[in-house]
Amino acid sequence: MTTKKYETYYVPAQSHWPIVGAVALFLIAVGAANYVTDIKNAESGFGGYILIAGIALVIYMMFGWFNNVINESMSGKYSHQMDNSFRQGMSWFIFSEVMFFAAFFGALLYARTFAVPWLGGDGNNAMTGQVLWPEFTAQWPLIKTPDGTETTGMGWYGLPLINTILLLTSSVTAHFAHVALEQEKRGLLKFWLGLTVALGLAFLYCQGLEYAHGYADEMKLYLTSGIYGNTFYMLTGFHGMHVTLGTIMLIVMLIRVFKGHFTPKNHFAFQAASWYWHFVDVVWVMLFVFVYIL
């Protein structure tokens, strides 16, 4: 296309999507802040509506923004270098997500290794145990907190094990889909990608069942059930949100595959969705080990 040593890097013209996105984030933040404040004060307000408006605006922005990018990409405006920018951008975004989960894993490990044993009098904290909560025994899962909230630990067999198998399998099928795309076997690509989406949805369904099980009266495992319930629901909950997002990304990819998008050389969006999927899979393996088994 060009005789120069370097291809020209595509710098997009002005775009109104970022400012739409900024307003959307503003509405989400203001809405969510008002909403949780009203819940706490047991008042009713308009926060929820602002929040919903913000989310709707963000979805609208994503459609518009991605539409621009897809059109630019399909019309061949992007060089190899641009593709690299997108790939590197996505990998560092995933790294930042890893660090977000690291904060919660850090909280889990800190609570298990330090906070709970110290409350039970470990280390030089014998007096903490005797003076504050003499009845308290340190254990994990923490089924009885110092202030006496009781709950039940979630075992690793059953639903969590099924979920592990579902998600690990889906990572393999996502890889097969990628291989099929690179070998230009469109039929196989549709099959494996469709299967990946189905496995993702099955995972989410099982996760829902597990939560219903936890909130049922036999287990009494709530978000508010002390540090065990906190870390359990926050970690699996954020993971579940990421699986939801990943599934939506894969569904969009599936639609694009049916529309005939992507070539063996040019399929950044597919690659990004697939990386993201592998990432939520790895997080789940960590969860399965540290939240469920150990």
Partner 1 sequence: MTTEAIHDSHEHDDHHDHKMTGIKRWLYTTNHKDIGTLYLWFAFIMLLVGGALAMGIRAELFQPGLQLMEPDFFNQLTTVHGLIMVFGAIMPAFTGFANWMIPMMIGAPDMALPRMNNWSFWILPFAFAILLSSFFMDSGAPNFGWTFYAPLSSTYSNGSTAFFVFAVHIMGVSSIMGAINVIVTIMNMRAPGMTYMKMPLFVWTFFITAYLLIAVMPVLAGVVTMLLTDTYFGTSFFDAAGGGDPVMFQHIFWFFGHPEVYIMILPAFGIVSTIIPAFARKRLFGYSSMVYATASIAFLSFIVWAHHMFTTGMPLFGELFFMYCTMLIAVPTGVKVFNWVATMWRGSMSFEVPMLFSIAFVILFTIGGFSGLMLAMTPIDFQYHDTYFVVAHFHYVLVTGSLFSIFAGTYYWLPKWTGNMYSDKLSKAHFWCSLISVNLLFFPMHFLGLAGMPRRIPDYALQFADFNMWVSIGGFAFGLSQLIFLAVVIKCIKGGEKAEAKPWDGAEGLEWTVPSPAPYHTFETPPKID
Any contact of residue 135 with partner 1 (CB under 8 A)?
Answer: no
Distance CA 194, CA 20 (A): 32
Least distance from C-beta 30 to partner 1, angstroms?
6
Collect contacts of 142-151 with beta carbons under 8 A, ≥24 apart: 142/111, 142/116, 142/226, 142/227, 142/228, 143/228, 145/225, 145/226, 145/227, 146/119, 149/224, 149/225, 149/226, 150/220, 150/225, 151/219, 151/220, 151/221, 151/222, 151/225, 151/226, 151/228, 151/229
Q: Give the interface segment with partner 1, choosing from 16-24, 161-169, 176-184, 260-268 (CB under 8 A).
A: 16-24
**Which residue, 165 or 245, has its beta carbon nearer to partner 1?**
245
Residues 121, 226, 240, 246: which binds partner 1 (CB under 8 A)? 226
CA angle at residue 24 from 18 to 25, to 5 degrees?
A: 90
**Which residue, 125 or 244, has its beta carbon nearer to partner 1?**
125
Residues 224, 260, 264, 294: which binds partner 1 (CB under 8 A)? 224
Residues 50, 57, 119, 189: which binds partner 1 (CB under 8 A)? 119
Which residue in this structure is represented by tokens 């009885």?
A: 144
**Which residue, 72 or 169, has its beta carbon nearer to partner 1?**
72
Least distance from C-beta 157 to partner 1, angstroms?
25
Any contact of residue 76 with partner 1 (CB under 8 A)?
Answer: no
Hey, which residues between 136 and 175 contact partner 1 (CB under 8 A)? 142, 145-147, 149
Least distance from C-beta 5 to partner 1, angstroms?
7
Residues 116, 167, 177, 221: which binds partner 1 (CB under 8 A)? 116
**Which residue, 36 or 179, has its beta carbon nearer to partner 1?**
36
Any contact of residue 104 with partner 1 (CB under 8 A)?
Answer: yes
**Which residue, 35 or 203, has its beta carbon nearer to partner 1?**
35
**Which residue, 99 or 212, has its beta carbon nearer to partner 1?**
99
Least distance from C-beta 21 to partner 1, angstroms?
5
# residues near partner 1 by CB under 8 A: 73
Q: Pick from 15, 19, 97, 21: which is nearest to 59 by CA?
A: 21
Any contact of residue 79 with partner 1 (CB under 8 A)?
Answer: no
Least distance from C-beta 169 to partner 1, angstroms?
29
Any contact of residue 50 with partner 1 (CB under 8 A)?
Answer: no
Least distance from C-beta 175 to partner 1, angstroms?
25
